[in-house]
């Protein structure tokens, strides 16, 4: 018995030895154990909750009273339940956002829950969340804003000591932390202990990041760090949930200057980057990061969330999805339902891996331990690999009869580094090979969507690889059809157009605020409504008898009679043509740029709305500080509002500013500076908010 044991142990040992000896050498930077564990989490949640939740703002200015913080029904177990039901693996909370308000009773500041009426100042949100995460088997992550608009000493060396003390409290008092998140927004207007001024720091030196990073490594060695200077996780370059098809988990932080993000390389990664860095796609479940009641109807729909999934996890990234907390301390039911529905749909899509029943073969093989069947054996430890000198290969999966598929999932054995830079996929349909995809990178995970086809075989052609390629997994799936909500637009003359991306589905709509059903108006052509109106629309598949999610748009008074009185440029009406893809632009006029509009008649104004340029890269003219004036005659102007648009650079949403009602026929929006620090002034869309007559 003993001899047999020794014999089998030796055989196993030799096999393992051979397999190791024969494994491809690592290529380029490879993930650390923590990065690997973390990337496998794939989806986890963000929680945005702070003092500004109670003032309906995206950024608190640091001067709001701690007395405002009173989430009477706060229930971190509800947050954890929502995240669990959404299939997420962890939660990162804004322990301190830019306003400086602390959700835990920090010993180093008075600006925290301890001076709020919530639980008579005895509460600790981070503690409650840590306990809830433990109960629901979720990991806990911490967002600590380096920028602090409350602290009097922000900008001085003493603040760094304060910042590190807070970090130490958070990293030692609440159990294991899986990710530490340092927001890149830094410096600007703020309360600063009563100074109310504009402060800027040198982002390259002020925080002395190497020592802060060393502190985190000491206190939480398994945590990954998200920061503009690295080291582990990088921002994907936008806050809209747009990952990139080409996505290298490599980046050279040493080549980048803090505060000057190169959004394109953040989004694509750098093929020759010296560090292993994965992109994390951070996006909110609704337009803003913080809760605003007005956005309750703007929670992302299932098709939108699915798109983000394919663009993040399906494009070699991770997905950090935000839930804003309401002033009562709970996640809104719409956000909770959307995330749960997403998880159900993902479970449905990926419930059966059709590749498991296929016979796998490869054009080249490294040896028996790395043959093609290792790619569809459902075992993450085994993988197919090509011989050392080979950089092109094909892997084919064949079936005994045609199967319906519309998704392919590919994984490289990322422990050995990311290698593949170009590949294509063919399906064998009705006796011939048909190309269904031409792509670039794979990385940890890549999922491709294509039209449903009945394939007898599927072939992955690795066309270029930077070292001998590895494939850990090939999966094939057949996802059910999902209807997308239609887009609703109104042009200057009040003409409303509703567009569905699915040409075969019908569109039903309402204009009375009710949800559309199949008995509502059937959309056949654009129609005109010049007054205030709420339009709701949904796509309906008449064959499957299935309706899609409802889209809602609220339009204020029509803009048909509007005339731009300044500036007299050709593109000056693009700001109210109803098309967010076209912009009015004024470049560096040398003084604060502005536009002035004659509204055609006197209106009761109580606000305005500004939508900046919606392009992803190299955007100019996003207004930072503004002034808004009204007038009865277009000559004598009164200031109705002035301020700074919060977080408009990274999240260029509609900005709605409200003010005390005023009667006016003329309006003027002045852009004092833009987010690049220049005086360019761009506007994709502009609108006013009117009150009762």
Footprint of ligand FUL on this chain (CB under 6 A)? 58-59, 183-185, 282, 289, 647, 650
**What are 408's two structure tokens?**
């392919």
- The nearest distance, CB 50 to ligand FUL, in angstroms, is 9
Pick between residue 198 and residue 521 the one whose CB is nearest to ligand FUL: 198
Q: What is the separation, in whole angstroms, between the first and last Cα of the chain?
A: 95
Question: Which residue, 88 or 393, has its beta carbon nearer to ligand FUL?
Answer: 88
Q: How far is the CB of 249 from ligand FUL (least distance, A)?
A: 21
Residues 6+ apart with CB under 8 A from 153: 159, 162, 193
| Three-class DSSP labels, 1-42 | CHHHHHHHHHHHHHHHHHHHHHCCCCCCCCCCHHHHHHHHHC
Q: Between residues 571 and 673, which has the closer beta carbon with respect to ligand FUL? A: 673
Minimum distance, C-beta of residue 172 to ligand FUL, in the bound complex (Å) = 24
Comparing CB distances to ligand FUL, the nearer of 143 and 626 is 143
Residue 473 or 647: the one with the smaller Cβ distance to ligand FUL is 647
CB 183 → ligand FUL: shortest distance, Å?
Answer: 5
CB of 236 to ligand FUL, least distance (A): 12
The nearer residue to ligand FUL, 60 or 475, going by C-beta atoms, is 60
Spell out where 335-479 has E strands.
359-362, 384-385, 393-411, 420-429, 432-439, 446-465, 470-471, 473-477
CB of 226 to ligand FUL, least distance (A): 10
3-state secondary structure of 516: coil
Count CA within 13 A, CB hemisphere, residue 245. 8
User: For 154, which DSSP code?
Assistant: T
Q: Based on the number of CB atoms within 10 Å of its own CB, is 378 exposed (0-12), middle (13-18) or buried (19 or more)?
A: exposed
Give the distance between the most distant pair of CA atoms in the chain: 103
Compare residues 574 and 653 and give the one whose CB is closer to ligand FUL.
653
Q: What is the DSSP letter of 112?
A: B
Residue 48: CB minimum distance to ligand FUL, A: 6
* Collapsed DSSP state (helix, strand, coil) of residue 598: strand
| Residue position matching structure tokens 């949100």 | 125
Nearer to ligand FUL, 178 or 384 (CB): 178
The residues, any chain, with a CB within 8 Å of residue 462's CB and separated by 6 or more, are 386, 391, 392, 393, 394, 395, 420, 422, 423, 469, 471
Question: Residue 316 CB, nearest distance to ligand FUL (Å)?
Answer: 21
CB-closest chain residue to ligand FUL: 185
User: Quick one: 147 or 584, whose CB is closer to ligand FUL?
Assistant: 147
Which residue's CB is nearer to ligand FUL, number 184 or number 475? 184
Q: Which residue lies nearer to ligand FUL by CB, 260 or 389?
A: 260
In 478-592, at which residue ranges do the beta strands (DSSP E only) sit? 487-490, 495-499, 506-510, 521-522, 527-528, 533-541, 546-547, 551-555, 563-566, 584-586
* Distance from C-alpha of 449 to C-alpha of 436, rounded to nearest angstrom: 9
For ligand FUL, give the closer residue by CB, 97 or 446.
Answer: 97
Q: Find out whether 554 and 496 touch, Cβ atoms under 8 Å.
A: no
Q: Least Å distance between CB 112 and ligand FUL?
A: 18
Tokens of 624: 């930072």
183/412 with CB nearer ligand FUL: 183
Comparing CB distances to ligand FUL, the nearer of 151 and 459 is 151
- Closest distance to ligand FUL from the beta carbon of 76 (Å): 19
Question: Burial level of 394, CB count in 10 A (0-12/13-18/19+)?
Answer: middle
Q: Minimum Å distance from CB 146 to ligand FUL?
A: 11
Q: How far is CA 319 from CA 80, 267, 621, 632, in A?
A: 17, 13, 29, 50
Residue 331's DSSP bridge partners are 325
Q: What's the closest the beta carbon of residue 593 comes to ligand FUL, in angstroms?
A: 25
How many CA atoms, within 13 angstroms, populate the side-chain half-sphere of residue 289?
Answer: 28
- Asked whether the beta carbons of 519 and 553 are under 8 A apart, the reply is no
Task: Kindly state the smallest distance separating residue 217's Cβ from ligand FUL, in Å.
Answer: 23
Task: Give 581-593 as a 3 state SS string.
Answer: CCCEEECCCCCCE
Residue 674, strand partner residues: 623
Smallest gap from Cβ 625 to ligand FUL, in A, equals: 16
């Amino acid at each position: 018995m003993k001899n047999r044991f020794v014999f089998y142990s030796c055989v196993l040992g030799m096999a393992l030895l051979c397999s190791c000896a024969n494994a491809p050498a690592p290529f380029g930077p490879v993930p650390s154990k923590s990065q690997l564990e973390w990337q496998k989490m794939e989806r986890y949640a963000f929680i945005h909750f702070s003092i500004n939740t109670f003032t309906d703002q995206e950024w608190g200015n640091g001067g709001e009273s701690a007395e405002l913080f009173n989430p009477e029904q706060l229930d971190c177990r509800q947050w954890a339940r929502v995240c669990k039901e959404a299939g997420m693996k962890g939660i990162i909370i804004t322990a301190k956002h830019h306003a400086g308000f602390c959700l835990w009773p920090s010993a180093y500041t008075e600006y925290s829950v301890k001076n709020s009426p919530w639980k008579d100042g005895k509460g600790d949100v981070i503690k409650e969340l840590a306990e809830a995460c433990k109960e629901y088997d979720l990991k806990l992550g911490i967002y600590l804003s380096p920028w602090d608009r409350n602290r009097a000493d922000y900008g001085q060396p003493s603040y760094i000591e304060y910042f590190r003390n807070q970090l130490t409290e958070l990293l030692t008092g609440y159990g294991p932390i899986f990710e530490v998140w340092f927001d890149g927004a830094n410096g600007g207007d703020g309360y600063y202990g009563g100074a109310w001024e504009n402060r800027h720091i040198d982002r390259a030196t002020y925080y002395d990041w190497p020592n802060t990073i060393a502190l985190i490594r000491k206190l939480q060695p398994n945590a990954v760090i998200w920061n503009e200077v690295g080291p582990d996780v990088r921002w994907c370059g936008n806050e809209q949930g747009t990952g990139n098809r080409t996505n290298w988990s490599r980046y050279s932080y040493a080549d980048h200057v803090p505060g000057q993000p190169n959004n394109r390389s953040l989004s694509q990664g750098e093929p020759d980057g010296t560090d292993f860095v994965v992109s994390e796609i951070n996006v909110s479940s609704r337009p803003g990061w913080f809760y605003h009641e007005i956005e309750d109807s703007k929670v992302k729909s299932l098709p939108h969330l699915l798109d983000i999934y394919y663009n993040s996890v399906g494009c070699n990234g991770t997905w950090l999805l935000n839930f804003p907390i309401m002033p009562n301390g709970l996640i809104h039911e719409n956000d909770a339902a959307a995330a749960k529905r997403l998880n159900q749909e993902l479970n449905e899509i990926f419930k059966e891996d059709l590749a498991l029943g296929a016979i796998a073969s490869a054009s080249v093989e490294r040896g028996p331990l790395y043959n093609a069947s290792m790619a569809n054996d459902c075992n993450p430890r085994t993988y197919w690999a090509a011989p050392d000198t080979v950089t092109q290969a094909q892997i084919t999966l064949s079936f005994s009869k045609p199967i319906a598929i519309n998704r392919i999932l590919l994984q490289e054995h990322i422990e050995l580094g990311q290698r593949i830079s170009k590949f294509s996929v063919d399906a064998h349909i009705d006796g011939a090979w048909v190309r269904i995809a031409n792509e670039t990178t794979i990385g940890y995970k890549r999922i491709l969507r294509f039209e449903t086809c009945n394939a007898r075989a599927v072939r992955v052609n690795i066309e270029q690889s930077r070292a001998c390629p590895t494939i850990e997994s090939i999966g094939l799936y057949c996802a059910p059809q999902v209807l997308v909500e239609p887009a609703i637009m109104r042009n200057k003359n009040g003409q409303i157009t509703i567009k569905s991306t699915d040409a075969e589905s019908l569109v039903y709509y309402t204009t009375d605020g009710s949800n559309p059903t199949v008995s509502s108006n059937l959309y056949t052509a654009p129609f005109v409504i010049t007054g205030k109106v709420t339009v709701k629309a949904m796509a309906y598949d008449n064959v499957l008898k299935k309706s899609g999610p409802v889209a809602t748009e609220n339009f204020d008074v029509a803009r048909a009679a509007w005339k731009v009185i300044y500036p007299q440029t050709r593109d000056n009406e693009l700001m109210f043509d109803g098309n967010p893809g076209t912009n009015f632009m004024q470049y560096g006029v040398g003084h604060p740029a502005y536009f002035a509009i004659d509204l055609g008649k006197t209106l009761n104004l109580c606000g305005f709305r500004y939508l900046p340029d919606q392009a992803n890269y190299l955007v100019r003219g996003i207004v930072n500080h503004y002034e808004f004036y009204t007038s009865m005659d277009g000559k004598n102007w009164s200031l109705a509002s002035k301020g700074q648009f919060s977080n408009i650079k990274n999240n260029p949403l509609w900005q709605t500013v409200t003010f005390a009602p005023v009667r006016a026929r003329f309006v003027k929006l002045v852009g004092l500076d833009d987010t690049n620090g220049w005086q360019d002034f761009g506007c994709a869309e502009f609108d006013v908010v009117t009150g009762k007559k």
